[in-house]
Structure 1
């Protein structure tokens, strides 16, 4: 299957359970402290929180909302992709992870002891762009070409799903970080690339032909987020889930109440022009509740695809993955 070997290799750290699973979120002793700094893992650069949780933090409102759970400080750690974040989470270097559904599902399917406590973004778009000169004009033209994607991400899963659905086999799918894809297209190193919504819009405005859009052409492969914690962390702090979910609800409420202010924040932390942020940051992508029918449906569809493609080693129940009490 397309890209299966390279996809799996990026996720091998999630399989090393015997060596690392004994490491808890509180160190070797695993003992819970009355108060603690919360170590949050995210995808990106600059150790910046994004989304409604990042908005709360930027407004100096996140820490007071998390204080009832014993949180005294919020520390953010950035990772280039989901597999790298999974390694840190498994090694006990993080207390909570905010990232795409695909790496979170793969890690759980590999036996990584996590619990899902929320989805803060639902229906995340993606697209495939071609190089400017002589590149593919449609998805079918990707047969026999070199295509780039940030492997191990929901973007990669969207690309594989779209190609599988269309019965198309590129010559090669290469792993390139989203930040480096424009240069690869410009040099002609690749014929096309799958990218997240903001990158897609920014490159489209620069003249790169957009040949496939998940929301238009393959809505079943839209992405969603996953907020997960290690089971050891949750076992030591059972009240954390409700406190975190309350903070997410408040962040969503504040963002939708002053949408222009939220968009300004999103543009600042995302590093994209305001017009790109406005076009790709949508109110309807921010759910009012930690779990919604649409979000769970996308999550289940993604899991099913990953199981069929054998990226998930062992199937599991989404309902059983969700932390006790997290659905009300």
Structure 2
């Protein structure tokens, strides 16, 4: 199987950056900013996410959109939030290791790859558990089963939970594709239409949007491979956590409250999800599920899925150095 292992390549780059920027991370990045204010003055929290438009999504995004998130974080000294979006996890990881971000909330796969490369982060919460995806095929002459993916060119957003799912599904089916290529989920339809690829693994909302246009769906993550469902990971840098050790509990409390408000105002939350997601309301309603939003920072299901993803990534060589999830979680974060 010829794979373009961009997550592993980025992991190697991240490891080199860790060494080269070690002084930066402890001297002139977040650590210096926090040290300068003694951990007491108010500061701007820099959050990295995957997407576009520099907007938070999910329950914390819902609260931030209503100017209600910063007040919940004020106890930790947060005066404002800036959101920085990246096209994929590896790009976000590079900004995180360079000290350009304090916190990142994104998919578990790139977060695990970064940690396995030695990136100094701590896991403080999982905001979403059980993220779904699927494999769609081109309309004319495309595959109609996992077995028919043998010798075909498949697209996915490399370094994502969809990529992990795709690799797992192919391995289970003992199928070797011709090639796996990196294409952003938003660009998959054009690639399928042109025939550049035969199939693609994309998130649930994209699956439903493509299904509505007549693209065959040949595999479902939640239905066919539930053990590979994705989770989100919220991480902070070690330097930030060292300077502001009380931040974790404040963020976790804010996430719990955001989830509570989202579920209590579900129709309003779905309207927000439509606004930030760019998909039609009917698709958002079908693919935005309350049960995917945990009521606590960590759940047994979420940690089990996370451990399974890590084990698979280690076996595949995407995570270069194995580690214990418990050692990655910030001290006291599971209490």
By the TM > 0.5 criterion, same fold?
A: yes
Q: CA offsets, 1:196-221, max 9 Å, x none? A: 11111111111110000000111111
Any residues of structure 2 matched to 1:125-274 within 5 Å, and which?
A: 125-274=132-281
Partner-residue secondary structure (3-state), 2:23: coil
Deviation string 1:51-108 (CA, Å, 9 cap, x unpaired) is 0110010111101001110111100000000000000000000000000000000100
Name the structure 2 match of 1:99. 106
**Alpha-carbon spacing, 1:8–1:68, altered in 2? closer, same or farther (3 Å):** same
Is contact 1:13-1:86 (8 Å) kept?
no
Tell me, in whole angstroms, the C-alpha distance in 2 between the residues paired with 1:85 and 1:168.
Answer: 31
**1:109 corresponding residue in structure 2:** 116
Q: Distance in 1 between matches of 2:275 and 2:211?
A: 20
Task: Work out which of the residue numbers 54, 75, 81 in structure 2 matches 1:68.
Answer: 75
Secondary structure of residue in 2 paired with 1:23 = helix
Q: Does 1:123 align with 2:130?
A: yes
Aligned-partner SS, 1:136: coil
CA distance 1:29–1:38, change in 2 (3 Å): closer
Give yes or no for contact 2:31–2:239 (8 Å, CA) kept in 1. no
SS in 1 for 2:234: strand
Deviation string 1:20-56 (CA, Å, 9 cap, x unpaired) is 2332342657625222100000000110100011001
In the alignment, the residues of structure 2 paired with residue 281 and residue 148 of structure 1 have an alpha-carbon distance, to the nearest angstrom, of 24
**Counterpart residue number, 1:39:** 46
> Secondary structure of 2:320's partner?
coil
**Do the aligned partners of 1:10 and 1:152 also contact (CA within 8 Å) in 2?**
no
User: In the alignment, which residue of structure 2 is the partner of 1:19?
Assistant: 20
Provide the aligned length of Structure 1 versus Structure 2: 328
Say what the alpha-carbon RMSD is for the aligned residues.
1.2
- Where structure 2 has 5 or more consecutive residues not aligned to the other structure, the ranges are none
Separation in 2 of the partners of 1:6 and 1:257? 40
Superposition deviation, residue 134 in structure 1: 1.3
Q: Distance in 2 between matches of 1:10 and 1:209?
A: 33
Cα distance in 2 for residues equivalent to 1:139 and 1:167: 9
Give the match's secondary structure for 2:30: coil
Confirm or deny: 8 A CA contact 2:4 2:180 kept in the other structure.
no
Instruction: Please say if residues 273 and 284 of structure 2, whose CA atoms lie closer than 8 Å, have aligned partners that are also in contact.
Output: yes
SS in 1 for 2:80: strand
Pair 1:297 & 2:304 matched: yes
